[in-house]
Amino acid sequence: MPEYAAEDLLALQAGTLLALISEVLLKGEFVPAPEEPVADHEKVIGELTLFEKAIYTAKKSIVDDNNAMVREIESRGEEPDKLEVIKNKIDYKALNALFWACIKNRLGTVTLDPDAIGVWEGYKIVSFSLPDNPFLRMLASINED
């Protein structure tokens, strides 16, 4: 099996979402955790790992960069490049799927039973029940996509 130096792996990942995650990890600069405190009816089931924090940061950077790009282009009275916006949406969805897959694979069955899981203050992963509201249940299922 071949062995790769860190530089070789970064070169192989160039231009991919893995490169973005690796860059975040190497810098060690993560977006702040959400400010939402854990409520009494919520159960802390874990905390984000460094890798999960890197994915969380990468997906937030895609959203922030996309929104800044669109605002800047629209401020000039121009139309944003739809292909670029679609690419950013695809990248975000891929990172979001990877983010939740990492959490669910690591924590296992505690992520399967609750109505929803989320990330709150201090990068705490919480599980909680949703009120019997079809709209809220639909939103929770969308977040996991």
DSSP codes joined into one string, 33-73: PP--PPPTT-EEEEE--HHHHHHHHHHHHHHHHHHHHHHHH
Weakest mean pLDDT among 44-53, 91-100, 124-133: 124-133
For residues 34 and 11, give the distance between their C-alpha atoms in angstroms, rounded to a whole number.
32
82-111 residue pLDDT tens: 999 999 999 999 999 999 999 999 999 888
CB distance 61 to 25 below 8 Å:
no
**What confidence score (pLDDT) does residue 144 get?**
54
Please report how many Cα atoms fall inside a 13 Å half-sphere around the Cα of residue 28, on the Cβ side. 0
Instruction: Flag whether 139 is in a domain.
Output: yes
Beta strand ranges found along the chain (DSSP E)? 43-47, 116-120, 124-128
Instruction: Flag whether 90 is in a domain.
Output: yes
Instruction: Flag whether 27 is in a domain.
Output: yes
Instruction: Flag whether 21 is in a domain.
Output: yes
Instruction: Flag whether 1 is in a domain.
Output: no
For residues 5 and 119, give the distance between their C-alpha atoms in angstroms, rounded to a whole number.
33
Q: Tell me the pTM.
A: 0.83
Q: Which of 16, 28, 36, 30 is nearest to 98 (CA)?
A: 16
The torsion angles phi and psi of 103, rounded to 5 degrees, stand at -65, -50
**What confidence score (pLDDT) does residue 111 get?**
83
Instruction: Flag whether 102 is in a domain.
Output: yes
Structural domain total, the chain: 1
Residue 50: give the domain boundaries: 6-143
DSSP summary character for residue 77:
T
Instruction: Flag whether 79 is in a domain.
Output: yes
Q: Which of 92, 102, 93, 116 is nearest to 47 (CA)?
A: 102
pLDDT band with cut points at 50, 70 and 90 for residue 41: confident
